Structure 1
Amino acid sequence: MAVTLHFLPRDHWMNDPNGFIYYRGKYHIFYQYFPYESRWGTMHWGHKTSTDLVHWKDEGIALYPSRDFDRNGCFSGSAIEIDGKMYLYYTAIVYASMDPANIHVSGSGLIACQAMLESPDGMHFPAEEKRIIIPTFSENEVGHPGDTRDPKVWQEREQYFMVLGSRKGEQGNLLLYSSRDGLHWQFASVVSDERIKSHTWECPDIFSIDGEHYLIMSPIGIEKTGTSYPNQSVWTKLSFDPGKKQAKILSHPRFIDYGMDLYAPQSTLDEKGRRIVMAWMRMPRPLADGRIGMLTFPRLVRQKEGDLRFGLHPAVESLFTRVLQKKQAEDVLRDQRPLKISLDLLEGAHIDIGGYVIRFYQEKVYTDRSKVLAIERADLFGEEAQVGKEFCTPILQDGRHLDIYVDANIIEIYVNQDEYVLSNIVYDLGSQILAQDVEKIAYFGLDTEEPVYEGEKK
């Protein structure tokens, strides 16, 4: 019986994670969700909860179009706890014109405003409580009227701050707002950097680690090689002055994941106060049951000498305690169960996991999924994009160790624990494992033979 350890939608289509929060003893993730077909359409917020970041319980639909200002979609946003309540912030969408043949896709552009809803308990979401907090911009105002979105809210120095992704002309930027109560918001400043040549800066997220601020975001069109999705997720160092309510980007952007499928990461603090992140993995075609899109494993974010690192969260890592022989590991692959492979690389190393190939030379890790993803292009939002087949990390500095986590349709590779991560969507993995020029190879299965995950499709 196949078991999928990764977060999947309840059915049909999902994209960005939203409202990631630890609240009243549970983790909540909301996600962009289209409940009618296995493709993008009018956005709702699906909702799942977990006590451990591993077992997710489906809680149905939290937000759905219900007001005139969000009648064509509830786009991405975030959540925060204020006075015991859960405040949800999102981008409310109206289409400039409708496609008469399909009301679920934009006819000629978007009209966006920023909205919120107060939930008394994180489980009930009264639609009548929705309100606009930042109206649609006009053409000559600070933000773009259609491409301003994805409010991420956080608290710092007894104030609340909001960052929005936007653009001026064809150059992306960020808008900062501040609030004393989380309800009434004042514009603070614009954050821009012409070194980051891209369109709208989607899904921005600002946080601090060890007293230093960082920005993660997903700029449209930042990847210009033409060999993979052009929209990618990056991180930069940031200076942020809460008193002046201003921020400045301090470094060139670096990829969060070198597999180039990851997008729209969102962070929160776990129950121990550690910064963690989960992100959408883009899938070029649905699974057999019609679901399309998944989230990465939760990743622990830390900084090392000013660089951000994204390592596997201990909640997932601790599950793989059952030592396997190679034949048992191949049986696990054949049954489409989660598998961990750990090894050290030698120059010229070659690992083939059911057709997914990993190589190591000139101090870089290379992957090739050509045999387990035959698709050349994907239609994610009504526009086709190139789907990459071959990937590589930068030059390794911390060693040559890999921890490889294999699930039914995704492989996540953690290099030297968290120096780099490289994650890829795959289809129809085989069961044979071949490895040469590696050392200390070991295989691990889940700690139980028959794990049961709440909300799992049967």
Structure 2
Amino acid sequence: MTMTGTVPRSAGWRRLSRRCLPAAFALLFPLGAPHAADTPQWRPVLHFSPAAYWMNDPNGPILLDGVYHLFYQYAPGSMTWGHPSWGHATSTDLLHWTEHGVAIAATPGEEIFSGSLVPDPLNRSGLGSTDAPPLLAFHTSVFHDNPAHPDGTQAQSVSVSHDGGFTWRPYAHNPVLTLHPDSRQFRDPSVFWYQDGGCWIMTTVVGDAQLVKLYRSTDLLHWSFLSDFQPSGYRKPGMLWEMPTLVPLKLDGNPRATRWVMIVSVNPWSIAGGSGVQYFVGRFDGVTFTPDALPPPGSDPSRYDWLDHGADQYATTLFANTGSGAPVLIGWMDNWDYATDLPTAPWRGQMTLPVDIALKTVDGHPTVIQTPTRAYEDMVRKKGVVTYGDRNLPQDGRVTIPSRGEVLDIRLVLRRGGARRAGIVVRETPDGRTGTSVSYDFVDGTLTVDRGRSGLVGFSPRFSTRHIAYLAAPGGEVALHLVVDRASVELFANDGVLRMTDLIFPPAGSDRISLFAEGGGATIHGLRVAVLAR
């Protein structure tokens, strides 16, 4: 259970509903039972994590009647991935979550992979009524010991809810979409209503072919093929594409300049190594998505657009049914390079902070902007912000900030004096030997998150320690917004132009903040710190 503030953990766990938890798992693995290797020091405060067991991709996030529903890949009874079901949690503000256990359960013959949710208010599917319209979950079924499909076949299925997403039953004629011949890599349906075409559009992937397939339907049950999206360029043997999401955004807020953004998760070979999230900006005519100018084939990954330049964001997807508000994204805060080795217990896996997204022109290039949601900003203001104003940093010196806490919101602007490099260290121990560094190199124009001394780093040889991204510094300054939780640092630079998300596992007592400059002096402008939890 993930809670904001100082609610006791036991109180949060009592809010857990086992409405959908299989009885066998509830008896064998009671969610509130003590665990020999429990790690409460890394239990996130701002980010959703399940009370226990393995979690990965967010599935079918949606807003219904003022309540956000988050479903996710879940393995009850296991600390590693395998034979997933859908878990379920709800929130009214995207910060405080109530977990409801298993929503759509796997069976011996069917695994429930990722997907999306769609309201059917006019009952076009015929699976409800106009008075009681159904809610449909589209998910990938992975079949085993099924005479109709070779073992391991992946196809798209539908489950139906008549109580707002709390209980589900499978559609009698699943699957509703399969490839011919059957495929073991056809998955992750993302469905949305396309107003201009008067139909629903589904994006799916053939993962090992790095291929997005688009379909249309007018009843959500019968699907017609539209087109494939497979740009030449950054593709490698062994790379998988997953979780495709297509979203329209107004470029620079202009409704007459709408662009479509195709978001695709990539594993491995991402910008920071291992798994990550790429996006393409282009146009969609109801049949084909056509990206704008792409780098030449074979270009380095840095020539492409990435939602995150840190190591720990994957399977990012949109909340559905948010109306005219800003689209909201959420992802899995992890990396397949070391996900099964994470040192947390009795849970393994957490979500990223939900963010609002927009599309703005940056240096002549349409760029996805990501900023924390209004509910998060309201929470920070209510907690209280300490303003430190401007600080001069001496050459090769370090300044400690009085604010102390494990969960922090920090904002500052780095201004170059004579310094080559300047930055901030968070979750620092009193002796300064442990901490996570965020710095900007004014000569190279690069932003770096260094978690090499962040705490526990040796649990996996593939836990990369330094992540670097190019970032312009207009007027010789860079604005940084850090969201620091008990086991993570999320960085939003230059008002959301660039994002970096990294897991950390710091030791007890690492609650200090310091500032530094190297190769000359620098100035910190507008430093503000909110302590969200100590």
| TM-score, reference length from structure 2 | 0.72
Is it true that 1:282 corresponds to 2:334 in the alignment?
yes
Deviations 1:293-336 (A, max 9, x none): 11111111101022211111121122112124876622x22xxx
Alignment partners' CA distance in 2, 1:118 and 1:251: 40
| Matched letter for residue 265 of structure 1 | T
| Matched letter for residue 439 of structure 1 | I
Alignment partners' CA distance in 2, 1:434 and 1:130: 60
Given that 1:16 and 1:279 are in contact with CA atoms closer than 8 Å, whether structure 2 keeps it comes out as yes
List gaps (5 residues or longer) in structure 2.
1-5, 7-40, 122-132, 251-257, 295-303, 389-399, 429-434, 517-521
| Alpha carbons of structure 1 residues 200 and 289: separation in structure 2 relative to 1, 3 Å | closer
Alignment partners' CA distance in 1, 2:164 and 2:373: 24
Which of 83, 86, 91 is equivalent to 1:50? Answer: 91
Once the two structures are TM-superposed, the CA of residue 364 in structure 1 deviates from its matched residue by 2.1
How does 1:222-301 map onto structure 2 within 5 Å? 222-223=269-270, 228-242=272-286, 245-252=287-294, 253-268=304-319, 270=322, 272-282=324-334, 284=338, 285-286=341-342, 288-301=344-357
List gaps (5 residues or longer) in structure 1.
98-107, 379-384, 451-458
| Matched letter for residue 192 of structure 1 | Q
Once the two structures are TM-superposed, the CA of residue 236 in structure 1 deviates from its matched residue by 0.7
Q: Which structure has more strand as a fraction of its residues?
A: 1
Once the two structures are TM-superposed, the CA of residue 28 in structure 1 deviates from its matched residue by 0.8
| Alpha carbons of structure 1 residues 287 and 57: separation in structure 2 relative to 1, 3 Å | farther
Is it true that 1:11 corresponds to 2:52 in the alignment?
yes
Q: Equivalent residue for 2:449? A: 367
SS at match of 1:132: coil
Percent identity of paired positions between Structure 1 and Structure 2: 23
Is it true that 1:79 corresponds to 2:135 in the alignment?
no
Given that 1:173 and 1:200 are in contact with CA atoms closer than 8 Å, whether structure 2 keeps it comes out as no
Is it true that 1:404 corresponds to 2:475 in the alignment?
no
| Matched letter for residue 71 of structure 2 | F
| Alpha carbons of structure 1 residues 272 and 109: separation in structure 2 relative to 1, 3 Å | same
> Which has the higher Rg, Structure 1 or Structure 2?
2
How does 1:304-323 map onto structure 2 within 5 Å? 304-305=360-361, 306-321=366-381, 322-323=384-385
| TM-score, reference length from structure 1 | 0.83
| Alpha carbons of structure 1 residues 406 and 357: separation in structure 2 relative to 1, 3 Å | same
Which of 218, 237, 240 is equivalent to 1:200? Answer: 240
Given that 2:332 and 2:351 are in contact with CA atoms closer than 8 Å, whether structure 1 keeps it comes out as yes
Q: Equivalent residue for 2:71? A: 30
| Matched letter for residue 221 of structure 1 | P
Which of 199, 205, 209 is equivalent to 1:165? Answer: 205
SS at match of 2:403: helix
SS at match of 1:315: helix
Deviations 1:374-394 (A, max 9, x none): 44675xxxxxx8322101222
Given that 2:53 and 2:75 are in contact with CA atoms closer than 8 Å, whether structure 1 keeps it comes out as yes
Q: Equivalent residue for 1:432? A: 512
Alignment partners' CA distance in 2, 1:287 and 1:373: 12
Alignment partners' CA distance in 2, 1:369 and 1:130: 50
| Alpha carbons of structure 1 residues 109 and 219: separation in structure 2 relative to 1, 3 Å | farther
Once the two structures are TM-superposed, the CA of residue 134 in structure 1 deviates from its matched residue by 3.9
| Alpha carbons of structure 1 residues 130 and 317: separation in structure 2 relative to 1, 3 Å | farther
Which of 157, 160, 163 is equivalent to 1:118? Answer: 160
Once the two structures are TM-superposed, the CA of residue 85 in structure 1 deviates from its matched residue by 2.3
Alignment partners' CA distance in 1, 2:219 and 2:176: 15
SS at match of 1:260: coil
